[in-house]
Structure 1
Amino acid sequence: MARAAAAPAQNLWAQGVLLLLIGLFCVFPFYWMVTTSLKTQVVALQSPPAWWFTPTLNNYREVLFVDGVGRSLVNSLIVAVCTTALAVVLGLPAAYALARFEFGGKRELWFWFITNRFVSPVVLAFPVFLISREIGLRDTHLALILMYLTFTLPIVIWICTDQFRSIPRELDEAALLEGCSQARIFWSICLPLAMPGVAVSAILSFIFSWNELLFAYILAPNAAKTAPAMAITFMEGYDVPFGKIMATSTLIVVPVLVFALLASRHLVRGLTMGAVK
């Protein structure tokens, strides 16, 4: 009996140690980024690394008020919010139609939406650069918003279509008997029930638009430059200011991290809805 009781306790200890190691492995890069952002260039280049040092906020002052990172953060916010809003506004009616109605070419349309998300961004980089330059959209917020829609719109349609499909059709039939129109059924019945999926798709769209680098670096080199594109500009030349790079990276990561923590309840609920019948 004593051995049988000791075995589960040992397993719990082993699981606890394993989870602790995994947690440290995941948190350490974030810790290193934040601590390096608080070091001077001399301290950041020390070998072996300096674990105890006097923190400084000079890197944050320089990147925000001298190097223009503050403006790039505003650009990132404008692009991410507008892209997310447009993806949700355009994707919800499309997802509802795919989930609730039968029409010619439905399977082909669904396949087209899904395969758009599977296209490698590198394949589109050069053609999009040429098109945006020819029509005068390069270095504008609109160019990034339209580009990001090609990736975020399929996410919204994919997730929200499954959410609408999980809603019983009997609710629609009952509402039709009461004289409700399809628009009223969509806004008053189906949309509130599908809000967890809407929240998930909006969160994923925002995170993608905020973090995207390739198209931001190609399409917005100056006036509309976003924060991720600004971060890599510090690596140009022979001098690599690690403190500035890490300070900019911290300013990019922290808002997304806070947003994800605040919305985690909706994220988990939306992703797991329908998993248990």
Structure 2
Amino acid sequence: MGISPSNSKRLVLNRFLDLLTYVILVISIFPVLWMVLTSLKTSWDAQALPPIWVFVPTFENYTALFANKGSSSEFTSLLWNSAFVSIVSTVLSVAFGALASYSLSRFRLKRGKDIAIWILSTRMFPPAATLVPVFMMMSWLDLIDTYAALIIPYTAFNLSFVVWMLKGFFDDIPIDLEEAATVDGCSRMAAFYKIILPLIAPGLAATAIICLMFSWNEFMFALVLSRNDVVTAPVIANQFITMYGVKWGELTAASTIMTTPVLIFAILVRNHMIKGLTMGSVK
């Protein structure tokens, strides 16, 4: 039996979509591959035109990053600052956002819909427009170059995202479960912590991962609100752009190191992330 025209068209379409997927995948991965390869080249090879594809790998760029011991820009300290600020701001964003989204999902507020839209509008607001006011407030509070100066803005800007992500998950949970728990003697908060939160655990994981990535990669506030003590890893990119040119080797080495932890973390929790991102869209 031959292949029918409809099946033949479908087969051709599937092959075309597979090819298109591979092309998009290659285009997406190529910048990362180029970054890693450049980090393993000498300064001469990194700036060669046309680009050199066959070379002897070297780790001199990575060594240079960690060789500046005792300096305020020591790369190990920058990584620690990034990790601490990102983790704390993510925990605070998810904690406060879970309570806020639960309230919007369960309580009939007089202007609940308007409040939800207002929260979403804060995410649409460009962060650059708030940079000067935030700097002035942190300066007035004497918080410049402290962890709080970074954690507070990161938490504030991630909060609206968390609220809107988790609200969809809470809406999918039947309210009958909480009512049954209340009948069994649970308070509302006990039912929230013991029943509702475990049910939306994949959603919490997906939201936390995205918030962590936002905070880890943030550059603008870290550049303006830090001086020496709490400088984060993305800020070091500025130091490799000098009046004599760009230090591509060290820049790509730093970028590779900063990308690796988030990439590994995302791979380890990818199942929770995929399940969480799709869970809130299915009724």
Q: TM-score range by the shorter chain?
A: over 0.9
**Which one is further off, 161-170 or 17-26?**
17-26
Please, what is the CA RMSD of the aligned residues?
Answer: 1.8
Identity of aligned residues (%): 38
Q: Go from structure 1 to structure 2 and tell me whether the alpha carbon gap of 1:10 and 1:98 turns closer, same or farther (over 3 Å shift).
A: closer
Q: Confirm whether residue 231 of structure 1 aligns to residue 233 of structure 2.
A: no
Please name the residue that 2:23 is paired with: 21
**Which one is further off, 54-63 or 92-101?**
92-101
Cα distance in 1 between the residues matched to 2:170 and 2:10: 43
**8 Å contact from structure 2 (residues 62, 250) kept in 1:** yes
Please name the residue that 1:59 is paired with: 61
Q: Deviations over 1:185-226 (max 9, x none)?
A: 111111111112111111111000000111111111322111
Cα distance in 2 between the residues matched to 1:158 and 1:26: 28
Q: Deviations over 1:47-88 (max 9, x none)?
A: 111100011101001112326222111110000000011112
Q: Go from structure 1 to structure 2 and tell me whether the alpha carbon gap of 1:92 and 1:31 turns closer, same or farther (over 3 Å shift).
A: same
Please name the residue that 1:86 is paired with: 92
Amino acid at match of 1:241: K
In the TM superposition, what is the alpha-carbon distance from 1:37 to its structure 2 partner? 0.4
Q: Go from structure 1 to structure 2 and tell me whether the alpha carbon gap of 1:176 and 1:213 turns closer, same or farther (over 3 Å shift).
A: same
In the TM superposition, what is the alpha-carbon distance from 1:12 to its structure 2 partner? 4.2
Please name the residue that 1:42 is paired with: 44
Cα distance in 2 between the residues matched to 1:274 and 1:109: 20
Q: Confirm whether residue 151 of structure 1 aligns to residue 157 of structure 2.
A: yes
In the TM superposition, what is the alpha-carbon distance from 1:16 to its structure 2 partner? 3.1
Cα distance in 1 between the residues matched to 2:133 and 2:139: 10
Q: Go from structure 1 to structure 2 and tell me whether the alpha carbon gap of 1:101 and 1:9 turns closer, same or farther (over 3 Å shift).
A: closer
Please name the residue that 2:140 is paired with: 134
**8 Å contact from structure 1 (residues 139, 221) kept in 2:** yes
Cα distance in 2 between the residues matched to 1:13 and 1:101: 50
Q: How many residues align?
A: 277
Please name the residue that 1:33 is paired with: 35
Give TM-score scaled by structure 2 length.
Answer: 0.92
Amino acid at match of 2:33: Y
Please name the residue that 2:220 is paired with: 214
Cα distance in 2 between the residues matched to 1:214 and 1:255: 21
Please name the residue that 2:179 is paired with: 173
Q: Match of 1:260, SS?
A: helix
Which runs of 5 or more residues in structure 2 are unaligned? none
Cα distance in 2 between the residues matched to 1:194 and 1:2: 46
In the TM superposition, what is the alpha-carbon distance from 1:141 to its structure 2 partner? 1.2
Cα distance in 2 between the residues matched to 1:33 and 1:144: 28
